[in-house]
Structure 1
Amino acid sequence: MILDLKSLEETAELLKVIAHPVRLCIVRGLWRNGCCNVTHMQNCLDVPQSTVSQHLGKLRQAGIIEGERNGLEITYKLTDERVKAILCCLFSDTKDNSRKEGND
């Protein structure tokens, strides 16, 4: 029972990290598009770069995303399969629709 409680606590922490609207938007965008840089995220979210960076830091710390540096630019990608499954449940209809419309 203790192991189950630990697993539930870890899952709850994962959900807390993605529960913020900006972070949810970031992971949804990465799920839809594969990868993205901070400038693109900032323009899509219409928030300051520092705000995007803070949220990316929390997602990185939780192991949900990874960044790959190419010169001065860092491109982020979604790496946590559990989050991908959650996004699929929450947004599978919108992902399919955006692909049909050519918005990916």
Structure 2
Amino acid sequence: MNSNFKDYNEVSDILKALAHPVRLCIVRGLLDKGKCNVSHMQACLDLPQSTVSQHLQKLRSMGIVETDRNGLEVNYSIADIRVKKLVYIFFGEEIENE
């Protein structure tokens, strides 16, 4: 066993962030779509934009998603390949070629 808990803490924090159903839905949606803006997510999830933005902020602070600004529009995509693999495993889906 390795007692370097720093590594375990990072993974544990990522798993905690993914443990929320809305955040997991956002991540899976981003995997399906590739990239997406908050307005599109808000319409799909039928949640207030502020709620979606709070969940995205949590995912972004954990390094799970990243942003790409195009003028006023901000698109989100998955930043952590480990999360991509993990979500595909959870849902029993094939991992696409990278």
CA spacing shift, 1:32–1:92, aligned 2, 3 Å? farther
TM-score by length of 2: 0.88
Q: Give the AA of the match of 1:2.
A: S
- Please state how far the C-alpha of 1:63 moved relative to its aligned partner: 0.6
Whether 2:96 is the aligned partner of 1:87: answer no
- Higher helix proportion, which one? 1
Residue number in structure 2 paired with 1:58: 58
**Percent identity at matched positions?**
55
Work out the CA distance in 2 between the residues paired with 1:91 and 1:79. Answer: 19
Residue-pair matches, total: 94
Matches within 5 A, 1:1-80: 1-3=2-4, 5-80=5-80
TM-score by length of 1: 0.83
- In structure 2, the gaps of 5 or more residues are none
Matched residue SS, 1:2 = coil
Ranges of 4+ aligned residues in structure 1 off by more than 3 Å: none
Work out the CA distance in 2 between the residues paired with 1:63 and 1:11. Answer: 11
Q: Please give the root-mean-square deviation of Cα atoms over the aligned residues, in Å.
A: 1.6
- Please state how far the C-alpha of 1:91 moved relative to its aligned partner: 1.8
Residue number in structure 2 paired with 1:101: none
Q: Deviations over 1:36-76 (max 9, x none)?
A: 11111001100000000001101110011011111111010
Work out the CA distance in 2 between the residues paired with 1:10 and 1:32. Answer: 25
Work out the CA distance in 1 between the residues paired with 2:77 and 2:39. Answer: 14
- In structure 1, the gaps of 5 or more residues are 97-104
Q: Deviations over 1:72-102 (max 9, x none)?
A: 1101000101101111101244x79xxxxxx
